[in-house]
Structure 1
């Protein structure tokens, strides 16, 4: 299990309960569970947060409300500000991945501070932080929703900690891989029907054409079921099915 201390996510003076809920949902998807809200406009708890949280509060996101940003970050040893605007301050400026690296390197408690929906972070809030995180957004339209900004960082955090995708490294919904014997049987079946149809011409090109076909098939990483399905299709093309079936001497 990864022992890296996770950062807390701090929302500075958030205005909409919906964004608090959506931020919690975004966090939990990538393993972040500590959410702090500083001076929320509509107070806390806020029923408007529940629908967009989609159960994140019950599933593990811990929410703590504070009266001010200063109080919300008072116990943190390292703090990163998320902002789209240059601030003219002598601080390291990095992207989400770089912010993750800075946070992981700390032995102290850490956090990431996000501004509110209307104005983002104030300069006073940014001044409290050790580094600035910004995203490579469209310069002509640098306008992420609060919860969207949170999920960009949360994704970078989960990815850096090596969290596998939900289906990554699994064969969910996929049948057993075809054996070499099954593949060779499929090749020979298909090639025999192509030979019958006069496909291999001129005859001296047959070995090359056969290799090309087999190479193309091999790249498909067939399952046993796919081999059976394909052979059934070849048979149907060759002799038909049902009323369309023909009788061959072989």
Structure 2
């Protein structure tokens, strides 16, 4: 610690030493500020069996304590290091809250979703789904709204077109005269 200007000690047990106590988040925020200002900051972790001794903690400027259930306040060494390192990453790097890997597809466009909804509406109309007629318009709005809430990819849209095409084919499988157009109205072509 001889070349450090600020030292945090990690402990959960109450000590009879007067020190500011930080959460891991607040501690790493302060550490990042101090390091940015050119200071050298350290974090002391105690041994697994018993943690840091008071002599160790007396050499620190502040304490890091994880806000957990007070009846089970002690963390093992790995957990303490993990939490501190995680908070360090959060304070020093831009971390996305959510990332979606698209693989080999892209997000569906408004046109893609519109073609899908039109395809389903036309086939569901043919099947008599939107019944009674007095409620059909409202049902179509609810149906369209359902698709607008879904984050669909182009691959999702293509699969859903295929599902409907197969359902129509299956319905007509025993009807040799049944006409099932491949690219009829409301039936998007394969890509």
Aligned counterpart, 2:189? none
Describe the superposition over 1:46-87 as per-residue Cα deviations: whole angstroms up to 9, x where unpaired: xxxxxxxxxxxxxxxxxxxxxxxxxxx111000001001111
Does structure 1 residue 77 correspond to structure 2 residue 13?
no
CA deviations on 1:112-152 (whole Å, 9 max, x unpaired) are 00111111011111111111100122322233221221010
Say which SS state the counterpart of residue 79 (structure 1) adopts.
strand
Count of aligned positions:
176
Higher share of residues assigned strand = 1
- Structure 1 unaligned runs (5+)? 1-72
Give the one of 231, 238, 243 matched to 2:161.
231
> Of 181, 204, 223, which residue of structure 1 is paired with 2:134?
204
TM (norm. structure 1) is 0.64
**Alpha-carbon RMSD:** 2.2
Give the conservation status (yes or no) of the 8 Å contact 1:84–1:135. yes
Partner of 2:62: 131
1:11 counterpart residue number: none
Report the Cα distance in structure 2 between the residues aligned to 1:178 and 1:91, rounded to whole angstroms.
55
The answer for the alignment partner of 2:19 in structure 1 is 91
Q: State the TM-score, normalized to the length of structure 2.
A: 0.83
Q: Which runs of 5+ in 2 are unaligned?
A: 181-191
Of residues 119, 141, 154, the one that matches 1:189 is 119
Alpha carbons of 1:160 and 1:191: their partners in 2 closer, same or farther (altered >3 Å)? same
Aligned residue in 2 for 1:8: none
Q: Whose radius of gyration is greater, 1 or 2?
A: 2
Report if the CA contact (8 A) 2:107-2:152 is conserved: yes
Q: CA deviation at 1:168?
A: 4.8
